[in-house]
Amino acid sequence: MDFSLSPEQLELQERATIAGLEFRDEAAKWDREDRVDYRRVLARMVELGFCGLTMPKEFGGQDGDALSYLIATAAIFRSSRSWIPNEPLFSTSGPGPALLMLGSDTLRQKYLPDIVQGAKSCAIALTEPNHGSDLTYLESTAEPHGGEWVVNGDKAFITGVLENELYATFVRFSGIPGAAGVGVVILERDMPGFTMDRGPEFVGDRGLPHGTMQMRNVVIPEENVIRGPGHFAEVMRSFNMERLHNTSASLGFAEAAYDEAAAYTSQRHAFGRPVIEFQATYHSLADMWVTIQAQRLLAYQAAASAVDGHFPQLLDVSAAKLFGNLAVVDITLKSIELHGGNGVTMDYPVQRIHRDVVSNIVAGGSPSILRNGIASQLFPDQRFRQTAPRANMG
């Protein structure tokens, strides 16, 4: 078994590191002001050749696989110290485009070329004010009407609302209860009856909003149905690109926190010596490094499990995301501690990295939900029911 990266993968990693560095000095401002000129970031990432990494060439993509996506995004998280420069990669080759790959030829031709080339960005909208982990209870609906579909409902915590042009939106079809009724449609930002707002202010992952969507009798053509009812497992497998992206953030940010701790303790002196010379410090750095190696192996395994380069397997990506989410919080906290008082000032980036990784924990599935998924794969003969005994599945 060969764990080394190919020359092409190393070259991609190097290019991504350099690209991320371009944005490092802006990350604090985006965080402080909770604003970003996202169009400029997107245009620059398109220019640097990071869009459509995993998408087929016929749509303007680069025909790469999920491992290329992981390598590039982890390097950008690490060098930029920010989540924002990876959003163009997320929207042009992440879960939105992966979901669209499941659509009809007509739908793919209609949207993928613009998405893949960064002309239109695609967000994903599952969560609702009353339902996050329990996706099978979604209340947003799609009802048939004269050869079209009428969509109603509310969504919450949707990353990139207002900035994205397209929204891959999970809805319940024709009132069919439970997972069997859930499918995905594409909404366009300017469709009548579709509104959005910035939603609550977040402590981390700031700059772009994680806002709300309101859908009031939004009429969409039949062709905008990516997958109707009866395909829950399949659409959730496309959503696993979201979990891979989140895994990549845990890896890249853990590396960034390690880099910051190593640099700080090398130049900071106490008791007449560089802080890194104390055994407590270099043992902490060694532990951080070992944990990062384990994170990386699980992350690479999850990426390598992807079918057709777009669909990571649930077990692998859940394990990688769960381990990464928990490990990176310990690493960033330890890095803060190694910075002393400076670690909790806004002058050093490690506090922002910590706020970002805490914010990422539940996005794409909380640790408990990931454990549920892992356990159900490990014990396929068991039925781990999550529903209340007399719950209404509607």
Nearest-approach distance from CB 196 to ligand FAD, in angstroms: 12
Binders of ligand FAD in range 177-216 (CB under 6 A): 205, 210
Distance CA 47, CA 287 (A): 38
Structure tokens at 183: 């499918």
Give the shortest CB-226-to-ligand FAD separation in angstroms.
Answer: 15
Does 368 engage in binding with ligand FAD (CB under 6 A)? yes
The stretch among 123-131, 231-239, 271-279, 300-308 that binds ligand FAD (CB under 6 A) is: 123-131
d(CA 61, CA 55): 4
Distance, in Å, from the CA atom of 66 to the CA atom of 309, rounded to the nearest integer, reads: 5
Q: Among 345, 386, 391, 394, which residue interacts with ligand FAD (rule: CB under 6 A)?
A: 386
DSSP 66-100: HHHHHHHHHHHHHHH-SSGGGHHHHHHHSHHHHHH
Report the nearest approach of ligand FAD to the CB of residue 328 (Å): 14
Adjacent-strand bridge partners of 168: 124, 186
Q: Applying CB under 6 A, which part among 55-63, 74-82, 127-135, 247-255 lies near ligand FAD?
A: 127-135
Cβ 384 to ligand FAD shortest distance, Å = 9
Cα–Cα–Cα angle for 259, 264, 266, rounded to 5 degrees: 100
- Could you tell me how many residues of this chain bind ligand FAD (CB under 6 A)? 22
Residue 133 as a binder of ligand FAD (CB under 6 A): the answer is yes
Return all residues near 292 (Cβ < 8 A) that are at least 6 apart.
251, 254, 255, 258, 327, 331
Q: How far is the CB of 88 from ligand FAD (least distance, A)?
A: 15
Determine if 125 is a binding residue for ligand FAD (CB under 6 A). Answer: yes
Residue (138 or 327) nearer to ligand FAD, CB: 138
Fill in the amino acid letter for 324.
G
Spatial contact of 240 and 311, defined as CB atoms under 8 Å apart: yes
Sole binder of ligand FAD in the list 75, 122, 124, 329 (CB under 6 A) = 124
User: For residue 289, what are the CA distances in angstroms to 255, 262, 285, 319, 338?
Assistant: 8, 11, 6, 19, 15
DSSP 156-176: EEEETTTT-SEEEEEEEETT-
Nearer to ligand FAD, 214 or 359 (CB): 359
Interacting residues with ligand FAD between 151 and 170 (CB under 6 A): 157-159
Give 56 or 96: the residue with its C-beta nearer to ligand FAD: 96
Q: Does 372 bind ligand FAD (CB under 6 A)?
A: yes
Residues forming contacts to ligand FAD in the complex (CB under 6 A) are 123-127, 132-133, 157-159, 205, 210, 359, 362-366, 368-369, 372, 386
